[in-house]
Amino acid sequence: MTPASTPPVLRLENVRKTFGRDTVVLRDVNLDVAPHTVTALIGASGSGKSTLLRCANLLEEIDDGAIFLDGEDITDPRADADAVRRRIGVVFQAYNLFPHMTVLDNITLAPRRVHATSRTEAETQARELLDRLGLGDKASAYPDRLSGGQQQRVAIARALAVRPRLLLLDEITAALDPELVGEVLNVVRDLKGDGMTMVIATHEMGFAREVADQVCFLDGGVVLERGTAGEIFGDPQEERTQRFLRRIVEAGRL
């Protein structure tokens, strides 16, 4: 674990987000994500996990509070949202690959168009990522010729191609057949080994227990309980957390 004295890569301070007049999705959320650590967000559907990630990447505008990336208040109206997003990689459960582009073109688009990387350099890096993710022979393939697991690995490669400071993963196995989940989770394990700072919203409880340095249980838009994986999965303190995990165990998912 990174020492507590090290400034966080991501910090949320009293973040509040509402939809419409009455639907409060995030209620005064506070969260620190230390460098080279994995934070897992767990909780029932609708608890606010995905919204938290979308706020962290400025895809949703918060109503109150502040979000900091390496100490910079990225929710300040004067902040350059595009510049912020260049430092954050995001992978959603929907692959969102461009169907008319090859795998190689999907991965190199942002480095070339946003980061002004030369085509040669972008393609070299993309091929290295594909080799690493077991997709070295798929560079010229189109997304509809790939399995779901392969498409999700391409989406991860695309997020890594911009060399992000922070990687946000939102239920990246939710749309996959069970037999394809493992190949995607293996990629995340490797990224943890490399020291990538990640925040993961997931329903894969066994995986969260294995890889997370910090686990946050969200309920009704509140971070109800947080701690190490051992603390949250082994000895949760809040009754709501206990009930949630008990149902997970009864369903055979932990």
The residues spanned by each domain of the chain are 37-250
Neighbours of 145 (CB within 10 A): 12
Q: What percent of the chain has a predicted confidence (pLDDT) above 70? A: 98
Cβ atoms of residues 80 and 145 within 8 Å: no
Tell me what the pLDDT averaged over the chain comes to.
Answer: 93
Residue 156 pLDDT > 60:
yes
In the three-class reduction of DSSP (H, G, I as helix; E, B as strand; rest coil), residue 251 is classed as coil
pLDDT in tens, 133-151: 999 999 999 999 999 999 9
SS in 3 state form for 173-240? CCCCCHHHHHHHHHHHHHHHHHCCCEEEECCCHHHHHHHCCEEEEEECCEEEEEECHHHHHHCCCCHH
The mean pLDDT of 152-177, rounded to a whole number, is 93
91 closest CA partner among 173, 31, 206, 213: 173
Report DSSP letters for 63-125, one per residue. Answer: SEEEEEETTEETTSTTS-HHHHHTTEEEE-SS----TTS-HHHHHHHHHHHTS---HHHHHHH
Residue 8 pLDDT > 60:
yes
Residue 58 pLDDT > 60:
yes
15 closest CA partner among 1, 29, 25, 36: 29
Residue 179 confidence class, pLDDT cut points 50, 70, 90: confident
Q: What percent of the chain has a predicted confidence (pLDDT) above 90? A: 84
pLDDT in tens, 185-225: 999 999 999 999 999 999 999 999 999 999 999 999 999 99
Residue 3 pLDDT > 70:
no
**37-250: what CATH class?**
alpha beta
The mean pLDDT of 44-53, rounded to a whole number, is 95
**Whole-angstrom distance between the N-terminal and C-terminal Cα of the chain?**
24
Cβ atoms of residues 147 and 95 within 8 Å: no
Neighbours of 94 (CB within 10 A): 14
SS in 3 state form for 119-138? HHHHHHHHHHHHHHCCCCCC
pTM for the whole structure: 0.92
Neighbours of 107 (CB within 10 A): 29
pLDDT, position 195 = 96
pLDDT in tens, 68-99: 999 999 999 999 998 999 999 999 988 889 99
Residue 2 confidence class, pLDDT cut points 50, 70, 90: very low
Non-local CB neighbours of 5 within 8 Å, separated by 6+ positions: none
pLDDT in tens, 96-130: 899 999 999 999 999 999 888 999 999 999 999 99
